[in-house]
A and B are shown apart, each in its own frame.
Chain A
Amino acid sequence: MDINEFIEHFAEQFEDTDVAEFKPDTKFHDLDEWSSLIALSIIAMVDEEYDVTLKGVDIEGAKTIEDLFNTVKGKK
């Protein structure tokens, strides 16, 4: 699993946020556009791209994009 590719997929779920905002240490819960609706898109993306089913606690427990990347990696 490649972190840059993960960040790219992660960023694709957003419409208004500048791509430059998405870095491994981005605290995604603090992004203006972040909402529970975007969270559903992230869960769907992870299911599709990585065949991993994330739950609410996984999303809530991850602070940064890299945290979430590591969670997904751990579940593979």
Chain B
Amino acid sequence: MAFLSFPNVRIAGFAAGVPQKIASNLHPTKDDVFSSEYSPEDFVNTTGVLERRVSGVLTTSDLSYAAAEKLIADLGWDKSEIEALIFVSQTPDYILPATACILQDRLGLSKDCYATDISLGCSGWVYGLSSVVSLMTSGMVKKALLLCGDAKKRFLDCDHLRDPLFGDAGTATAIEYSEGCKGFDFHFGSDGSGFDAIITPDGGSRNPFSTESLNYKREDALEQCRMVHRMKGMDVFSFGISTAPKSVKKLAEHFDFDYMQADYFIFHQANMKMNNMIAKKLKLPVEKVPSSLRNFGNTSSASIPLTIVSQLKGKFENKPTKFICCGFGVGLSWGTVVFDTNDVIVSELVEVADEEVDKKYVV
């Protein structure tokens, strides 16, 4: 029963960065991987993903950096006061060092800064949030940044660049100490027996990169190589529709509240069919369940803050608002959090040009 509570901390703001470039799923180009099994129209109707933001140039840290700069400026935060930075991604800039260290310097934060990476995908924002707020609950760290997302892959397949389900995004969530604030209640779970439900087989130390990693084999109606992630779609679907509603219910039961009281339910944006099933099983009214799938696709650990920025800006910032957010996916891993916001800053969506790619921290 992994339940956690951290009082005296609040979210001060949200921002999201996406590439300027839009890829259409109804008009795939030679760069897009499309299954021979179904038509683009059927894909769009089932997944709800009409288009996504893509860049073969910008990394997750470039997008997160742009979001963080915008958010810090909009909040009017003094950078020297930011004492912790957690970067959640499965597409870090380098195998080593940790991208969080690069971002500390790139953002111009003080060297008196706690910085670390967390390797999680779709559940990552909720896990990252618990890590940041646990550092802050005692009041020693007053301001912190949680940067989450996935974008340019570690291995760029020369024939097939882009998967139609996934979009690139990097987000920034600003968190501050606030004495007396109710804070955050969490529920977490993991199931490593589903480790290969979503997996990139080669390139880690279990199966180091070799020339054979580049061989293409036909699997699930797609030509795949072992350096690209693959997914057992049906298993992930079953996992999502059963685990996410259960996690929300467990959280509400443990902390003794009616989940229907929440103003918004932000789920990881997996695909429309899965998300609709989850909302239906919890009997949630559609207006409480915003989605960013149509224009951004599945953006991994960025999907929760990106949905808040792209769908809710202007609707909740200055009134008390209760959120339930639930991330679930690769690992398998899941987490749900409930928190209240008031007086938060939501930055305009930051659209990043390929030219804004980092040029300094490059070897």
Contacts and interface: CB of A to CB of B under 8 A. Distances in A.
Interface in A28-76: 35-37, 39-41, 43-44, 47-48, 53-56, 59
B267 to A, nearest CB: 15
Contact of A40 (B35, B37, B273): B273
Interface stretch (B58-66, B154-162, B237-245): B237-245
Contacts of A40: 46, 233-234, 237, 273-274
A44 B272 CA distance: 12
B288 interface: no
B46 A43 contact: no
Given A36-B220, A36-B221, A53-B242, A43 B237 contact: yes
Nearest to B36: A35
A53 B243 CA distance: 11
B273 A56 contact: no
Interface in B234-277: 234-235, 237-238, 241-242, 273-274, 277
B233 A36 contact: yes
Contacts of A43: 234, 237-238, 241
Contacts of B232: 56
22 contacts: A35-B38, A36-B35, A36-B37, A36-B221, A36-B233, A36-B234, A39-B233, A40-B46, A40-B237, A40-B274, A43-B238, A44-B277, A47-B241, A48-B277, A53-B238, A53-B241, A54-B234, A55-B234, A55-B235, A55-B238, A56-B234, A56-B235
Nearest to B220: A36
A41 B271 CA distance: 12
Interface in A1-21: none
B78 interface: no
Contacts of A53: 238, 241-242
B273 A39 contact: no
B278 to A, nearest CB: 10
B316 interface: no
- Most chain B CB within 10 A, of A43, A48, A54, is at A43
Interface residues of A, number: 15
A39 B221 CA distance: 14
Interface string B40-55: 0011001000000000
A35 B37 contact: yes
Contact of B46 (A37, A48, A54, A55): A37
A47 B235 contact: no
Nearest to B42: A37
Contact of A47 (B38, B221, B277): B277
Contacts of A56: 232-235, 238
B241 A44 contact: yes
A54 B274 CA distance: 14
Nearest to B243: A53
Closest 4 CB pairs of A and B: A56-B234, A37-B46, A35-B38, A35-B37
Given A44-B273, A44-B277, A47-B277, A39 B242 contact: no
Given A36-B233, A44-B241, 19 more contacts: A36-B35, A36-B38, A36-B220, A36-B221, A36-B234, A37-B37, A37-B46, A39-B234, A40-B46, A40-B237, A43-B234, A43-B241, A48-B277, A53-B238, A53-B241, A53-B242, A55-B234, A55-B235, A56-B235
A21 B62 CA distance: 53
Contacts of B234: 36, 39-40, 43, 54-56, 59
